[in-house]
Amino acid sequence: MIEIKSIASSSKGNCYYISNGNTSLLIECGIKIKEIKESLNFNLSKIDGCIISHLHADHSKSINNIIRCGIDCYATKETIKAAKTKSNRANIIKELRPFNIGTFKIMAFESIHDCEGSVGFLISSGDEKLLFLTDSAYCKYTFKDLTYIMIECNYCEDILKENIDNGSIPIALKNRLLFSHMSLETLIKFFKANDLSKVKEIHLMHLSLGNSDKRIVKESVQKATGKPIYICEE
């Protein structure tokens, strides 16, 4: 069993905690270190590592503070370079090259976002397999034997269109969303392309405050998958 805890999940900042009972990880550190410490009851000693998907601040803001707390961070060279750290606790990872943190086996894969070195993660622990994918317009891969899915559902196409039509969304933001974040409709297509027979939980991340609707998102994904759905809150 993999425990999943959402610490923060929005454009303001993202941070998640997972544990298999032996190894505990942070995924993303895009909020203030104080908030991360508070969410973990000021016990960072139980964290074995932090993996980071890409260099944008809402995912990587506290990388240097995490390192100063004695925790190794793992990210692509682009993300490490952007952090301007030379610490030996900053570990460069490569796409499709598995690595281990404690009892977790992790493999990064390319995500479709608007910055270089952006990745998702496939995280394995015994018979359990967790997919983590955020800030990606779509997923170019399919997966077998997933048991947990943490995935972005940023916006609903109808709501975004309505906001564009009434002028509340600038064209530049619209284009960025379309080409760098995943819509509910694209997410449903992803689920249909994958075998979900072993999936126990689906956690939906990074919902846009103004361009999505939690009720619609949850009901739509539940109907499409038949799985327990959890919305990661801000």
Mean pLDDT for 160-167 is 77
Answer whether residue 169 shows pLDDT above 80.
no
- Domain residue limits at 214: 3-231
Residue 91's pLDDT is 97
Please write the tens of the pLDDT for every residue from 25-51.
999 999 999 999 999 999 899 999 999
Q: How many domains does the chain have?
A: 1
Length of the chain (residues): 234
Sign of CA dihedral 62, 110, 17, 68: negative
Tell me the pLDDT band of 209, cut-offs 50, 70 and 90: confident
Of the candidate ranges 18-27, 33-42, 46-55, 202-211, the one whose mean pLDDT is the lowest: 202-211
**pTM, 2 dp:** 0.95
The CATH number covering residue 70 comes to 3.60.15.10
* Cβ–Cβ < 8 Å for 111, 101: no
Q: Residue 105: which H helix or E strand, with range?
A: strand 104-110
Percent of the chain with pLDDT over 70: 96
Q: Phi and psi for 189 in degrees, rounded to 5? A: -60, -40
Greatest Cα pair distance, the chain, in angstroms, is 51
Answer whether residue 175 shows pLDDT above 70.
no
Q: From residue 180, how far is each of 23, 119, 134, 183 by CA, in Å?
A: 31, 12, 10, 10
